[in-house]
A and B are shown apart, each in its own frame.
Chain A
């Protein structure tokens, strides 16, 4: 129920962001053989994978941090975040830098993807609501299913996938291994 409501809200906000009925642009990328799409407005830049500094005591999907022209940016392993195994690094592995609005202002996050494909326009009429199951990732991570050349691409709800709140919570659980309430 709540998810339907939430996704309804998302559709509205996506509409507002795109303005009227103009088709929105999406960046498509592949990850573990599946094609995903990401609203272009959130994408800041795409860089080659490299020089990631690991952060100890963190869950596997937090790969580490990189130096992005003087700013320290956390890097998330999307594959691990979706519950799969960690991405293997290949020649085409990229980090997509995503800009998100959070409570404490704008925040940049890096996302590891297997390969970046292309920028597509997907008209609103070509977007189906997410299936309630079967996509192998959490339903609230999906904003919709875009039809491109007879195939479906999963349009990610990136605000949910990279929710700072949730990641911080998971990081804490990963870190805490049973600290008592009076810790500190």
Chain B
């Protein structure tokens, strides 16, 4: 795939996202002209781009869609749910066509073609055909709009548009092919006559093959309006000089045009005669008269050009409006674009890797400086390490993206699914500005999709059912994101019936996941839904209920070093909370030592450190200022067989609102930790989140505090439960 095509595909996908958002918006506020314009603009940009990359199948499809949008914009048809649904499926179809283009195929396969044909037929039947007789589609503006009439006897005889086009020198360098614009123009009407102007073409030895020297005078027969013709040249708008004269324009306008164009008036005049825009008599007459243009403009001092043109009935008022609006849009878009740079993700990853190496190298320099005892050196290295820290933060920031975009995708999902299920569901999004690592954003989409679909299908009840339970008929689904002590929380909350404890337990027994009579807490029961092959829906719908979802959700989230928890209140709804680490690459760590090994505890979870008092032998909790603080002895947990030193320390850690202690030998201070994954053979390990390389070159393990404490708790629970329970479920 060449570069232009790939740019086209990327940009078109963005346009599609915008299109979808605008369509959903349109459904909510029908008839809002801004939204309508946004829809139209997106569709048109895609079509224009497709014309430039000469992708016929996209042009053909989008063209029809645009026709419908055009009618919509002209108020010939009204916005309805059905129409939006069809337009959304059009957007999907364009997406599929882009896939085809991206895959390098020249034509979509049969299935896709058939799908496209079905959608088009539907558009044609329901929205295009029925109105065609009532209002003929976009005739030339002069024919449809009364105010623009070619007043006076100066009207010229031709009924074609006249387009004067001078491509700028940089058009070719910008990757645009002038011919493809002409070819695309041809799809709007018929080029009656075209004359190429090669006046600026220098002698062969001076000619730069990358510079475009060409200009065109085109006599163009079309029923499209001026804006439509102008839009053909959207992509080279800044790079070319474009003059369009409507059919039956005044002779004066032609003369004005002649004066404006850089070429010699006489020569141009001849060309205009040749392509049939003017007759020789008209030209002679015009040149003889040489009426100064817009004399009135000199009188009405500051009258803007647009108004003058309107006064002269040269252009339609709405054209001026459109032009002004367009200028505004273009400048806004440019402002937004100038704030963004597209970078290939692998370049960024390379940078982050290098920063990671820099952090490790810096740590070893610090270590050596500390050993050397030279105070100047220590000072210099501490300055460097502070800078390295800032570089690290800045580099990581580069990869952070807002989660809002991912959330917004769900507007469409919720709309479609709620329709399909016959439920009325409102999606409330908060915290869309929360930033997280790009690679995580990409991977969190699927699990979220499962959760949202599940919540809609199983969670939220049918409207009748809701009303019967005294709840508003409209269900509410929330997507929230926020920061919580060094992690990012993403919640999917519904106000449905909640999880059915009994049913889950019964199912779990039936599936042999738990033993009958086994007592489990509510949380444990709810978490059973994440087991493979578990689904309690009595009916399997095509949305969910096949029981393949939830365990995949948990696995995906775990692969991001995250966790997912569910809480639920019967009759009030359930809440799925996903906890994700802030970044995947580098964290601030707290280095501790047990025996000869060093471990890193993520600093975000560390609250304080205290000394473990001697009298704590035999029990695993301490009194922390009147609070009971349970702790984990890392030495016992990890089976390190040596004699503990006389003095041990407790690192108090916090996660998800809970506090616990971790008993270690030494506290070795803060440490910038570059996370190195432990490889797939350790993927089932619990309590260790990864590894890092210390300044000395040794590998230290990073503790996963939450998993560690949970593991310890389970361990204890099990050994406590063993005497009563003959056989634990799945030992």
Q: A107-B679, A180-B729, A182-B514 known; A175 and B699 CB under 8 Å?
A: no
**A183 at interface (Cβ–Cβ under 8 A)?**
yes
Question: A179–B691 contact, CB under 8 A?
Answer: no
Question: B531–A182 contact, CB under 8 A?
Answer: yes
Give which listed residue, B514, B528, B685, B710, contacts A55 with CB less than 8 A.
B685
**A65 at interface (Cβ–Cβ under 8 A)?**
yes
Q: How far is the CA of A72 from the CA of B683 in the complex (A)?
A: 14
Q: A54-B597, A55-B688, A57-B638 known; A179 and B678 CB under 8 Å?
A: no
Q: How far is the CA of A171 from the CA of B679 in the complex (A)?
A: 12
Question: In the complex, which residue of chain B has the Cβ closest to the Cβ of A65?
Answer: B699
Question: B530–A184 contact, CB under 8 A?
Answer: yes
Q: How far is the CA of A67 from the CA of B678 in the complex (A)?
A: 11
Question: B681–A168 contact, CB under 8 A?
Answer: yes
**B334 at interface (Cβ–Cβ under 8 A)?**
no
Q: How far is the CA of A184 from the CA of B713 in the complex (A)?
A: 11
B415 to chain A, nearest CB (A): 33
Q: A67-B693, A67-B697 known; A53 and B531 CB under 8 Å?
A: no
**B335 at interface (Cβ–Cβ under 8 A)?**
no
Q: Mask for A67-108, Cβ within 8 A of B = 1, else 0? A: 100111110000000000000000000000000001110010
Contacts of B687 in A (CB 8 A): 57
Task: Name the residue in B513, B637, B640, B730 with the highest tally of chain A Cβ atoms < 10 Å from its Cβ.
Answer: B730
Interface size on B, residues (CB 8 A): 46
B619 to chain A, nearest CB (A): 22
Contacts of A58 in B (CB 8 A): 682, 685
A87 to chain B, nearest CB (A): 18
Contacts of B81 in A (CB 8 A): none
**A51 at interface (Cβ–Cβ under 8 A)?**
yes
**A30 at interface (Cβ–Cβ under 8 A)?**
no
Q: Which 3 A-B pairs have the closest CB atoms?
A: A56-B638, A172-B684, A178-B731
Question: A53–B701 contact, CB under 8 A?
Answer: yes
Q: How far is the CA of A177 from the CA of B700 in the complex (A)?
A: 24
Give residues 144-184 of A contacting B (CB, 8 Å): 164, 167-168, 171-172, 175-184
B interface majority secondary structure:
mixed
A interface majority secondary structure:
mixed
Q: Mask for A44-63, Cβ within 8 A of B = 1, else 0? A: 00000001011111100010
Q: A107-B679, A167-B681 known; A55 and B697 CB under 8 Å?
A: no
Contacts of B688 in A (CB 8 A): 55-57
Question: In the complex, which residue of chain A has the Cβ closest to the Cβ of B599?
Answer: A56
Q: How far is the CA of A171 from the CA of B682 in the complex (A)?
A: 7
Show 17 residue pairs from A and B whose CB-CB distance is below 8 angstroms, ordered by the A residue: A51-B699, A55-B678, A56-B637, A56-B640, A56-B701, A67-B693, A70-B693, A72-B678, A72-B691, A72-B699, A164-B680, A168-B680, A178-B718, A180-B729, A182-B520, A183-B714, A184-B530
Q: Mask for A1-20, Cβ within 8 A of B = 1, else 0? A: 00000000000000000000
Known: A171-B685, A182-B513, A182-B524. 18 other contacts (CB 8 A): A51-B699, A53-B701, A55-B682, A56-B637, A62-B681, A65-B691, A67-B693, A70-B693, A74-B681, A107-B679, A164-B680, A171-B681, A171-B684, A172-B684, A179-B730, A180-B718, A182-B514, A182-B531
**B728 at interface (Cβ–Cβ under 8 A)?**
yes
Question: A107–B701 contact, CB under 8 A?
Answer: no
Contacts of B514 in A (CB 8 A): 180-182
**B676 at interface (Cβ–Cβ under 8 A)?**
yes
Task: Name the residue in B679, B687, B688 with the highest tally of chain A Cβ atoms < 10 Å from its Cβ.
Answer: B679
B506 to chain A, nearest CB (A): 15
**A66 at interface (Cβ–Cβ under 8 A)?**
yes
Task: Name the residue in A56, A102, A182 with the highest tally of chain B Cβ atoms < 10 Å from its Cβ.
Answer: A182
Give which listed residue, B525, B640, B676, B680, contacts A107 with CB less than 8 A.
B680
Task: Name the residue in A58, A103, A176, A178 with the highest tally of chain B Cβ atoms < 10 Å from its Cβ.
Answer: A178
Question: A178–B728 contact, CB under 8 A?
Answer: yes
Question: A71–B513 contact, CB under 8 A?
Answer: no
Q: How far is the CA of A72 from the CA of B687 in the complex (A)?
A: 18
Give which listed residue, B678, B681, B729, contacts A164 with CB less than 8 A.
B681
Question: In the complex, which residue of chain B has the Cβ closest to the Cβ of A52?
Answer: B699
Question: B714–A104 contact, CB under 8 A?
Answer: no
Question: In the complex, which residue of chain A has the Cβ closest to the Cβ of B683?
Answer: A168
Question: In the complex, which residue of chain B has the Cβ closest to the Cβ of A178?
Answer: B731
Question: In the complex, which residue of chain B has the Cβ closest to the Cβ of A173?
Answer: B684
Q: How far is the CA of A164 from the CA of B528 in the complex (A)?
A: 28
Q: How far is the CA of A39 from the CA of B200 in the complex (A)?
A: 69
Q: Mask for B667-700, Cβ within 8 A of A = 1, else 0? A: 0000000001111111111111001010001111
Q: How far is the CA of A164 from the CA of B683 in the complex (A)?
A: 10
Question: B730–A180 contact, CB under 8 A?
Answer: yes
Question: In the complex, which residue of chain B has the Cβ closest to the Cβ of A180?
Answer: B729
Question: B698–A67 contact, CB under 8 A?
Answer: yes
Q: How far is the CA of A171 from the CA of B531 in the complex (A)?
A: 21
Contacts of B684 in A (CB 8 A): 168, 171-172, 175-176
Give which listed residue, A72, A103, A184, contacts B676 with CB less than 8 A.
A72
Q: How far is the CA of A56 from the CA of B714 in the complex (A)?
A: 18
Q: A55-B685, A175-B684, A182-B531 known; A71 and B701 CB under 8 Å?
A: no
Question: In the complex, which residue of chain A has the Cβ closest to the Cβ of B554?
Answer: A184
Q: Mask for B703-731, Cβ within 8 A of A = 1, else 0? A: 00000001000110010000000001111
A55 to chain B, nearest CB (A): 7
Question: In the complex, which residue of chain A has the Cβ closest to the Cβ of B634?
Answer: A56
Give which listed residue, A67, A103, A182, contacts B699 with CB less than 8 A.
A67
Q: How far is the CA of A55 from the CA of B729 in the complex (A)?
A: 28
Contacts of A55 in B (CB 8 A): 678, 682, 685, 688, 701
Q: How far is the CA of A110 from the CA of B540 in the complex (A)?
A: 48
Question: In the complex, which residue of chain A has the Cβ closest to the Cβ of B525?
Answer: A182
**B277 at interface (Cβ–Cβ under 8 A)?**
no
Give which listed residue, A53, A70, A171, contacts B700 with CB less than 8 A.
A53
Question: A181–B513 contact, CB under 8 A?
Answer: yes
Q: How far is the CA of A184 from the CA of B528 in the complex (A)?
A: 10
Give which listed residue, A67, A71, A104, contacts B680 with CB less than 8 A.
A104
Question: In the complex, which residue of chain B has the Cβ closest to the Cβ of A71?
Answer: B676
**B285 at interface (Cβ–Cβ under 8 A)?**
no
Question: In the complex, which residue of chain A has the Cβ closest to the Cβ of B693?
Answer: A67
**B639 at interface (Cβ–Cβ under 8 A)?**
yes
Contacts of A56 in B (CB 8 A): 637-640, 688, 701
Q: A55-B685, A172-B684 known; A72 and B729 CB under 8 Å?
A: no
Contacts of B563 in A (CB 8 A): 184
Contacts of A179 in B (CB 8 A): 714, 718, 730
A132 to chain B, nearest CB (A): 29
Contacts of A182 in B (CB 8 A): 513-514, 520, 524-525, 527-528, 531
